[in-house]
Amino acid sequence: MIPLYSYRDNSCDPRKCTVKKLEKAGFLKIFSRISQIPRNTLLLDPTAEQALSPADRFVKSITVLDCSWVVLDTGAVRSWRIRRALPFLVAANPVNFGKPCKLSSVEALAAALFIVGEKERAAELLSKVNWGIRFLEVNEEPLRLYAGAKDSTEVVKIQNLFL
């Protein structure tokens, strides 16, 4: 089981914060400073040049950035050793429903787990929010195809089918 982490800058409403719900349920650990995040983690970063793929299933941990990208120290993020972008997926969260690539943190972590082969755990994470399973329904086909890819290059080719 891959450990999960989140960097959270407290910019969102704590009552609606999906990583706070996941932490309370024991699914992840939250860090308030980027320097606290383990350096060997795979960082989910939409600006990364490489897409997440099943080839990443042997990572030590996965970290999601739950913060305002306006104030994020992008230099600290870009210097990360293992950064991956999620491929094209559609949000099912109430704030961004139907919008491409506007995933909540729980959706991003669940997508990452699904792609690297932890499908049941992805569903378990999503069960902690009342709209969570809808994310799997909306993205059933792309997630299944991404999870069947051999590497990042193949994930990008599959992604192009949906763009």
Most distant pair of Cα atoms in the chain: their distance: 39
Q: Which of 14-23, 63-72, 154-163 has the lowest mean pLDDT?
A: 63-72
Instruction: Judge whether residue 73 has pLDDT over 60.
Output: no
CB 10 within 8 A of CB 33: no
Parse the chain into domains and list their residue ranges. Answer: 4-162
Sheet holding 29-31, edge to edge: 29-31, 4-8, 62-66, 42-44, 83-84
Model pTM greater than 0.85?
yes
Give the tokens for residue 113. Answer: 């787990």
Instruction: Judge whether residue 13 has pLDDT over 90.
Output: no
Strands 83-84 and 29-31, sheet pairing: unpaired
Helix, strand, coil share (%) of the chain residues, nearest 5:
40, 15, 50
77 three-class SS: helix
Mean pLDDT value across the chain: 89
Residue 107 binned pLDDT confidence (cut-offs 50, 70, 90) = very high
151 three-class SS: coil
20 vs 13: which has the higher pLDDT: 20
In the DSSP assignment, the letter for residue 8 is E
User: CB-based contacts of 70: which residues, under 8 Å, 6+ apart?
Assistant: none
Q: Report pLDDT digits (tens) over 115-131.
A: 999 999 999 999 999 99
- Percentage above 90 pLDDT, the chain: 66
CB 46 within 8 A of CB 55: no
